[in-house]
Structure 1
């Protein structure tokens, strides 16, 4: 009988069979919010949003340091402004961990950076895109405040421009921060206005993609401010299913209208008409996107639009209107 030792050694040399990898599952909202938030009165909720309240719970012991490092690396990539040039600084934020917001924030950053010549001056704060854990800093109130402070250090407030894109679920008191079952908070119009004014950031394009986001328009409007919201202050916006690639507003405004070499006002008009058509198709109550263009906006917008790419880029992702078809 032949020895079986050579066969045994050969089998031992083979790589061990690895267990099948489980598909990544992004964070989900399955637990009630912390008791302090759940028991808050409407007035207390507004006060918390005005203060930029953020609550974290049940985080791993290494979370805070890892998040600090992610944010530090991201802020370090921002380039200083160029004297004599109207530079745009793009801050694109997905405040909720539902992957639709992570995907939208990432692509909005690309579109806005290309449109407004902001390569090297763009930062994205967002959760997972649904494929893997996010390598980006979180879109939390604290991270937004740090990013705004760093941008303010680098920009010339009399020459340069902030372009802020925020996408999340919304409420009558502002935009909501919710990372799975661990992170909670909100930013109100008053809080955002306080931060921007404290940094002297008055030349700004603010784009808010959320339900009720019209609440930001009256408080943040100003002579040098352009602001566009996905909905009126008393209306919902649509397309925010976690599995979507875009919200209705993000798809119409960013993924289509802003990709074209047309003025901002024309892009808003195109997007509003597109959204209204989708809402009619789905028998949805109109979201009524809002806008405000300050009287001095053209002093910074005209130089930026003069440097826009001359050709359009192609939309990406699944059309948001497909969500009307159901599962």
Structure 2
């Protein structure tokens, strides 16, 4: 091949360059990386975010592994949170279990409030660009706090309460609820390492907007016992917790849940307005009756009859408040809720002579092995009633000294230790580990209601004597029905309260018996006898 002279090479070089410039650019693909490596990296990052959440729960500053994360990481933390809550729910609830729709709402509300708290932290700490990373870390911290801090503390609170250490239990409960504030402060320290006062302010604001709403939002576990399935397994004549849906009968009424809740203050105000001043010169009886389950008429029948009985035979007319959950009385009676119970007891205490008068609280509903009284009116997500709830509601101002507390529910013996003291008599329809009987859609009154209210208290004005008679009657009825495991009603008393009740009983005039009749379907009480 002939060689070109230098003079010829230069034009050829320019021609080659021009040709090269006009050629299309062909992109070169980067080396293919197996998708599994991407997944491994995502999982590694998610694990690091979880560790950051644990660090925040332990009050250590997170290392910021979520700083480049987007909404995908937040939803990954949400999935982890849901799985953890499912595990906790399954481990703390009895069979048969169900996934609670209201529990899902609680989970989503918690997630949204955590997202709001994270956004506030990011804004106040001037790190708005990494809001999703802050939110992912905060949600991981929420999960860690619930598992590592609040769950163990709640177990300890229950044990302390069972042992009567209410002060210690109260402080530990408060510590568990406030731990979220400490975790938020740890996250703020990651965002602004050198501005501790500003971090504390940001954490306090985020805590306020994410924690305070739980004073009004009902907390429902993600997994809870399936009461309808339980009812199918239990003895149909038993009084254990059954379904919370309304029975299908003519008394089932449609209602607007929001309107009903907004109507409660006026209903309570109207009910309290019926209370009359005490009669001077003698001990007065004041009665608060509470029918918790709205799915069966038997509980409404019982409190309406108790209202009639105590007003007519025991001089309590004008001294009664009835709280009940039933479709037939939504416009005439306040709901049986923990909030209304607090209001009712405070109103009664304000009209009593707290050292002379006697309070009788009558609670009737289903009960659980965990010693909770069922409070239900489908579809409202009402809080259940625990022994501690009742004890707290009884802390009125002024304080009521003399009390008779009647709990008619399965396993109600579990309420005794919390509620009994030297000036209180506690009566329960069953032992702590036993069911009671006589409820159901076909029943008009429970075994205990019939024996104690309808029969015994129509024959005597002595409450201890009425209990003794009722207990014997119930045992006989259970034997006749072929029930081998008897309910064994319980009474916890003291010489002080019995002397007080004896003095009050002697002051009562002789009155005719009040026959039992079920409440009608129009929201009124029993159709026999004089009204309240």
* TM tier relative to shorter chain: 0.7 to 0.9
Give the alignment of 1:88-237 within 5 angstroms. 88-97=285-294, 98-128=296-326, 133=330, 135-171=332-368, 172-199=370-397, 200-237=399-436
Kept in 2: contact 1:173–1:188 (CA 8 A): yes
**Correspondence for 2:103 among 32, 35, 38:** 35
Deviations 1:133-168 (A, max 9, x none): 552111111111100111111111111111110101
Q: Structure 1 residues 36, 80: CA separation in 2 closer, same or farther (over 3 Å shift)?
A: farther
Task: Report the alpha carbon displacement of residue 238 of structure 1 after superposing the two structures with TM.
Answer: 0.7
TM-score, normalising length: structure 1: 0.77
**Which of 218, 230, 241 is equivalent to 1:55?**
218
Question: CA separation in 2, counterparts of 1:76 and 1:187?
Answer: 26
2:394 match: secondary structure: helix
Cα deviation for residue 60 of structure 1 reads 3.6
The change in CA–CA distance for 1:119 and 1:198 in structure 2 (over 3 A counts) is closer
Instruction: Say if 2:283 and 2:357, in contact at 8 Å, map to a contact too.
Output: yes
Conserved 8 A contact 1:54-1:186: no
**Cα 1:147–1:268, aligned 2, differ >3 Å: closer, same or farther?**
same
Structure showing greater Rg: 2
On the 8 A contact 2:346/2:396 being kept in 1, the answer is no
Aligned-pair CA distance for 1:221: 1.4
Q: CA, structure 1 residues 37+281, in 2 after alignment: closer, same or farther (shift >3 Å)? A: farther
Deviation at 1:297, TM superposition (A): 1.2
CA distances 1:238-289 after superposition (whole Å, capped 9, x unpaired): 1110332101111111111111134222211110011111111222220010
- Residues 146-194 of structure 1 show CA distances to partners (whole Å, capped at 9, x for unaligned) of 0011111111111111111010111233312111222421221122223
Partner residue in 2 for 1:255? 454
Residue 164 of structure 1 contacts residue 205 of structure 1 at CA under 8 Å; is this kept in 2? yes
Structure with more relative contact order (C-alpha pairs < 8 Å, separation 6 or more): 1
Greater strand content: 1
Please say which of residues 267-276 and 278-287 is displaced more in the overlay.
Answer: 278-287
CA distance in 2 between partners of 1:123 and 1:91 (Å): 5
2:217 and 2:509 mapped to 1: Cα distance? 39
Specify the SS of the correspondent of 1:184. Answer: coil
Deviation at 1:76, TM superposition (A): 1.1
Q: CA deviation at 1:86?
A: 0.8
In structure 2, how many angstroms separate the alpha carbons of the residues matched to 1:54 and 1:164? 27
State TM-score, norm by structure 2. Answer: 0.49
Matched, 1:69 2:269: no
Distance 2:514 2:396 in 1: 38
Q: 1:262 to 1:151 in 2, by over 3 A?
A: closer
Partner of 2:492: 292
2:371, 2:415 within 8 Å by CA — same for their partners in 1?
A: no
- Where 1:176 maps in the other structure, the secondary structure is coil
Tell me the equivalent position of 1:279. Answer: 478
Give the Å deviation of 1:56: 9.8
What is the rounded CA distance, in whole Å, between the counterparts of 1:207 and 1:54 in structure 2? Answer: 29
Aligned to 2:30: none
1:306 to 477, 484, 506: 506
Give the CA RMSD over aligned residues: 3.2
Report how many residues are paired: 286
Q: Mean Cα displacement is larger for which, 57-66 or 188-197?
A: 57-66
Partner of 1:9: none
